[in-house]
Amino acid sequence: MTDIIQRGLYYEEFEVGVRYLHRPGRTATEADNVLFTTLTMNTQALHLDAAFADTQEFGQRLMNSMWTLSTMVGASVAQLTQGTLVAQLGLGDIAFPHPLFAGDTLYTESTITEKRLSSSRPGQGICTIAHIGRNQNDLIVAKATRTALVHCLPKETTDAV
């Protein structure tokens, strides 16, 4: 019997232009919103106060955008960086073009946009990943670019090829 451990991709396995569709999606709940918002000490009434939010532009509470961002990046981990990530180097180009509400389902896709070997860390490479989050109606609710430092294939693996 062979044991296979689920892992992300090593640097050599990342291919620029490849798009990954991360499934299943994640349905956002009111509990997610209240818990995340209070854990992060965010007192924004648009997330916590239903009566107030009902009087605002969207007529209901909004999911905390940082929950959306965190969940979107988290959805990519098993497929892309589980066990191969050295460090997350940065996030940028973050945008939330449409709100996410409790009851919506977040679907995430990731496209590899750049990669290069690290000049200062032998055996590691830098990959840039563009994440897009969509709701169940295919509306884009979040975008972000993530830069990740990942391990190269272990030497014993590359020697065997």
User: pTM, whole model, 2 decimals?
Assistant: 0.91
Cα dihedral across residues 24, 27, 31, 32: positive or negative: positive
pLDDT classification of 5: cutoffs 50, 70, 90: confident
CATH level 2 (architecture), domain 11-160: Roll (3.10)
Domain ranges of the chain: 11-160
Cα 31 → chain centroid: 20
- pLDDT averaged over every residue in the chain: 95
Alpha-carbon distances of 108 from 33, 58, 78, 129, 136, rounded to whole Å: 18, 23, 13, 12, 11
Cα–Cα distance between 1 and 130 in angstroms, integer?
38
| pLDDT 10s digits, 69-110 | 999 999 999 999 999 999 999 999 999 999 999 999 999 999
| pLDDT 10s digits, 117-148 | 999 999 999 999 999 999 999 999 999 999 99
